[in-house]
Structure 1
Amino acid sequence: MNKNQKNIPGSHVTPLSTEQLKVINSFEDYLRRTRYSESTIKTYCDSLYQFLKFCGEKPLALLSNSDLHDFNTQYIIAKKLSASYQNQVLNAVKLFCKVQLGTQLNPELVKRPRRAKPLPNVLSQLEVKNIIESPKNTKHRMMLTLIYACGLRRSELLNLIPTDIQSNRKILLIRNSKGKKDRIVPISEALITLLRNYYKEYRPMKWLFEGQVRGVQYSAKSLESVLKQALQKAKIGKPVTLHWLRHSYATHLLERGTDLRYIQELLGHSSTKTTEIYTHVSTRSIQEIRSPFDDL
């Protein structure tokens, strides 16, 4: 096996040609040089891998849009994979074509699937309270609390360092989040007290939340496990994810009358259109509507 092949997901099943492996590794190097996030690098390389694997050993110079259409029909649709995965592949191939010259591919001409527009999943404040109070472990409780209290993404929580908590200004600094942007969110005196108590108990060395070994960042997998255990203890049967806590934070702010523009800033959204989706799940105005049934 090629020494580089071990880093390509699925390569142990159907090895790619030497040429294909080289271009994937070159593409990965490009993504890393241009400072794409590790999750995006993995996503794009996995997508490109699956596409090239589907095309067999066909020379890159001969790849065309018909190959992309066939991959879409015979792989994505045939396997009933999601529209988001289809878009993910197109994004990866589109960027790859900009970097890798000499192909006949033009993903711009490939029609994208219509995006589904599901509403965000939102918990009641009582459900959130039960979830974050379920863990007996201080660290576990603090992590879940901070995600909800500040509307954090999972990666944003795990990348926090102790100095990101600026208690004198009552703000939390979120560095280099999605889109390579920094932002600040307010933290209350009650939350600062909880954070101080947590810090005194664990004395983190580098990251605010560390695993069993000091100085080693808490893992995403372990954090998912913390939530799963909290849901079991709280007797909540819904398929709750960590992102539900972020959705609930935004929706509860909206229901309390917070301006949508402020919520956009707190969540780190680039466009108000992304934030506007919470207006569809907020019950603040809906509950004021009287059904004509009530007048019968």
Structure 2
Amino acid sequence: MKWEAKIIKHKGEKRIAVFFEKNTDLISRIKKVEGSRWSQSNGFWHVPNTVENQIRFKITVSLPSAEGIEAIEKFKQYLRSKRYSESTITTYSEALKSFFTFFNSKSINLITNEDIICYNNDYVLKNKLSASYQNQVVNAVKLYFKTIRDTMIEVEKIHRPKRAKVLPNVLSKEEVKKILDAHSNLKHKAMLSMIYSCGLRRSELLNLKFSDIDSKRNIVIIRQSKGKKDRITPLSAKILDLLRRYYKEYSPKTYLFEGQEKNTQYSARSLEEVLKKSVKLASINKPVTLHWLRHSYATHLLESGTDLRYIQELLGHNSSKTTEIYTHVSTKNIQQIKSPFDDL
């Protein structure tokens, strides 16, 4: 049975694509690989780009030196001791791995600031990688050399790429209503409605437990979210009524929204599919993501006159500058400006 595998970028994520003639045995085997998916549009199976899968599918890739691998493990231990989230640890360690792989023939304590500029030019820019990826590597490199190792690098002189000023994507209230009303499934409607009505991140919704809904005080308690902070957000009477109807029908045991089995979290992938179906049913031709609902919540609050400081608290932003971006997409004041074209 012949097959071929290579690393690809699929929907912004590095994956391993596996190509082969249709074969029931190979299909059965690849289905057993955790995280495997079939791409209908591309006509191939793809799996997570992990070292284990690279070995499984015989993909040869450059790796850090033995010194680099040891350094990355020490870095992970440091991050865990500081109680960084596992997703942040993965992001930082993968970024550092990319950097050390580029310099796998050079001792780490000999790496200089000039080498970092070389990495940015000869790897990041040459491979047309994003500024956000470059920024991740800079963050990881600065933290590693600042905390783990004495080096020739002057940490404070490491420069960051200029960030692109991208406005958040926002839906109108009419579009949000269409999306939320598109599903006849009560559970799906309740999940999407909670994200919009409380301005939740995807992980925040999936981590919610029924005990986090305080119906007496009309609040939702969001525990240990980004930055390991707790916060509260208002719970509208309308969403509370929807949650009561949902609870009566589904009776979740641990999490507010559970998967097929009781006491298990609803999966992030399934939630994304729920939104995708809702957008299609609502006949909205925009690449809507779950985060668009959070952006729309913040913008609609601002347009209704809510103070920016309260919106910052509701969203769980550390800096007011993060929240201020919504002033650039709010149309409340812009719509009142009369175009000089009207006077022609």
TM-score normalised by L of structure 1: 0.93
| Partner residue of 2:140 out of 78, 85, 92 | 92
Pairing 1:129–2:172 present: no
Q: 1:172 is paired with a residue of what secondary structure?
A: strand
Q: Distance in 2 between matches of 1:46 and 1:162?
A: 35
State the match for 1:70 in structure 2.
Answer: 118
Report SS of the residue matched to 2:233.
strand
The residue matched to 1:179 in structure 2 has which SS? coil
Contact 1:8 1:49 in 2 (8 A): no
Pair 1:270-2:288 in alignment:
no
Aligned length: 291
Matched residue type, 2:82: T
Matched, 1:41 2:89: yes
Question: Gapped runs of 5+ residues in structure 1?
Answer: 1-5
Alignment-derived partner of residue 284 in structure 1: 332
The letter of the residue matching 1:85 is: Y
Q: Work out whether 1:241 is the aligned partner of 2:289.
A: yes
Please tell me whether the aligned partners of residues 64 and 103 of structure 2 are also in contact (alpha carbons under 8 angstroms).
no
Secondary structure of 1:279's aligned partner: helix
Aligned mates of 1:200, 1:168 — CA distance in 2: 18
Q: Is the helix fraction higher in 1 or 2?
A: 1
Partner of residue 3, structure 1: none
- SS of the equivalent of 1:217 reads coil
**Partner AA of 1:283 in structure 2:** T
SS of the counterpart of 2:169? coil
Q: How far apart in 1 are the matches of 2:147 and 2:53? A: 21
**Matches of 2:261 and 2:62, distance apart in 1:** 37
Change (3 A) 1:220 1:106: farther
CA contact (8 A) 2:221 2:233 kept: yes
Tell me how far apart the structure 2 counterparts of residues 200 and 184 of structure 1 sit (CA, whole Å): 24
Corresponding position of 2:264: 216
Comparing 213-222 and 240-249, the one that deviates more: 213-222
Give the superposition deviation at 1:150.
0.5
Gaps of 5+ in 2: 1-49
Structure 2 Cα separation of the partners of residues 102 and 254 of structure 1: 47
- The answer to whether the Cα contact below 8 Å between 2:142 and 2:158 also exists between their aligned partners in 1 is no
Contact 2:252/2:262 (<8 A) preserved: yes
Structure showing the higher strand proportion among its residues: 2
Runs (4 or more) in structure 1 with deviation over 3 Å come to: 6-12
Flag the 1:244–1:160 CA change in 2: closer, same or farther, 3 A.
same
The structure, 1 or 2, with the larger RCO (C-alpha pairs under 8 Å, 6+ apart) is 1
User: How far apart in 2 are the matches of 1:255 and 1:182?
Assistant: 26
Of the structure 1 ranges 186-195 and 94-103, higher mean CA displacement relative to structure 2 is found in 94-103
What is aligned with 1:167?
Answer: 215
Alpha-carbon RMSD: 1.8
1:58 maps to a residue whose letter is K
